[in-house]
Structure 1
Amino acid sequence: MSAASPATTRPNSPRRASARERLLAAADELFYAEGVHTVGIDRIIERAGVAKASLYSCFGSKDELIRAYLEGRHEIRRSRLLAGLERHDDPRDRLIGVFDVLADMASDNGFRGCAFYNASAESAPGGVVDEVATANRAWTRGLFTELARDAGAHDPILLAEQLMVLYDGATAGARMDRRAAAAVTARGVAASLVDAAIAPTSA
């Protein structure tokens, strides 16, 4: 019997990323670092190493690539928040824990604040950025409301709105200061707000 050929003994090579995956990876890097409108499609195509036709066959337009980029950012943020909250069993700690996750994210190399805030600052109302950013904020507001309700807040909607404002400010502060201190400070303020909101009321 003849020896096996190299083709049959060589380990499987890693799967090459698809054109769609490479375009999304390039868009994620460039859009987040420089802006969704500042970066043109030619730079994304060059970074991804694909033909221009691939962008249009995969996404149809730059707007739809922006949508996919922001939806991907939302999913990563959502997964990271929910995973971080799993560290806590107590409902109060889970609510405050949102700010622990924010501090972790703000400590990442390359942190440039909220992708949705950044994209919205460049974009006119009513477009794809507005649509996806609104959905992202609705999810965050819903998370705060659910956690506030679980923690026993007397007015979970009001507490959620207060924490949203605090979260927004801490995200912007961490971006401007290039460190997580604003998120850490916001956590302490959040703890005070939560404790006041769940304190027993006098008869």
Structure 2
Amino acid sequence: MEVPLSPRLDARSKLLDAAARLFYAHGISATGIDAVIAEAGVAKMSLYNNFESKSGLVAAYLQARHEEWLELYRARLGASSDPVGGVLAIVDAYLDHAEAGYEHGFRGCGLLNAAAELPAGDPGRSIVAGHKAQVEDLLREHLESLTDSRQAAALAEQISFLLEGAISRAGLEGHSELLHRAKSLITSMVRAL
């Protein structure tokens, strides 16, 4: 038997879902709280009962995006059987993100897009930086099973740069072709170890 969500949790998830759609499609700065409230179909007070401000909503959105990516990665990792597969699970999570059916098309990494809008020192930028550091750490951990720790760290950084560049360009072009090309390059780099 399914337990119904409390009205507060239901409003919170509606607000986060609406913010995710609107922030990704139009940007954080261009999306006002009234638009999020209208999209969510909740009362204005629901926003302030769940988030202290728009900044709090943005931080929750960024954390949710991070968790969403981790879920994509974990699902891919579950299908891999070796360290090369672990590295490619990370790449495939990027591809899954790029190939999701976005209502207004693929615009690149939602976390990087958000960070570009946030001023230096904004707590949201720390969430994005933490996500990117975790991706590089995951790459390094998989690569350490294939080579020494120094080479694994250097290669993880190179792959991270390649992925970030590919997803940025893919977002600019609106499709995942460059990520597929990056995957091919990364596969060759890792299999050469």
Q: TM-score, normalised on structure 2?
A: 0.88
2:153 aligned residue:
157
Q: Would the aligned equivalents of 1:95 and 1:151 in 2 still touch at CA under 8 Å?
A: no
State the aligned residue count: 187
Which of 133, 137, 140 lines up with 2:135 in the alignment? 140
Please give the alpha-carbon distance, in whole angstroms, between the structure 2 residues aligned to 1:94 and 1:157: 15
- Measured on the aligned residues, the alpha-carbon RMSD in Å equals 2.1
Q: Would the aligned equivalents of 2:69 and 2:93 in 1 still touch at CA under 8 Å?
A: no
Q: Which runs of 4+ in 1 moved over 4 A?
A: 12-17
Range that drifts further, 61-70 or 167-176: 167-176
Q: Would the aligned equivalents of 2:17 and 2:40 in 1 still touch at CA under 8 Å?
A: yes
Any unmatched runs of 5+ in structure 2? none
Q: CA deviation at 1:52?
A: 1.8
Q: CA deviation at 1:91?
A: 1.2
Which of 186, 189, 193 lines up with 1:193 in the alignment? 189
Please give the alpha-carbon distance, in whole angstroms, between the structure 1 residues aligned to 2:27 and 2:133: 23
Q: Would the aligned equivalents of 1:113 and 1:174 in 2 still touch at CA under 8 Å?
A: yes
Any unmatched runs of 5+ in structure 1? 1-11, 199-203
Which of 57, 81, 85 lines up with 2:49 in the alignment? 57
1:179 aligned residue:
175
Q: Would the aligned equivalents of 2:73 and 2:92 in 1 still touch at CA under 8 Å?
A: no
Please give the alpha-carbon distance, in whole angstroms, between the structure 1 residues aligned to 2:50 and 2:93: 33
Q: Would the aligned equivalents of 1:116 and 1:129 in 2 still touch at CA under 8 Å?
A: no
Which of 74, 83, 88 lines up with 2:66 in the alignment? 74
Q: CA deviation at 1:55?
A: 0.9
Amino acid at match of 1:34: H
Q: Would the aligned equivalents of 2:28 and 2:114 in 1 still touch at CA under 8 Å?
A: yes
Q: CA deviation at 1:78?
A: 0.6
Give the greater-gyration-radius structure (CA): 1
Q: What percent identity do the matched residue pairs reach?
A: 35
Task: Indicate how the Cα distance of structure 1 residues 92 and 23 shifts in structure 2: closer, same or farther if over 3 A, else same.
Answer: same
Task: Indicate how the Cα distance of structure 1 residues 49 and 129 shifts in structure 2: closer, same or farther if over 3 A, else same.
Answer: same
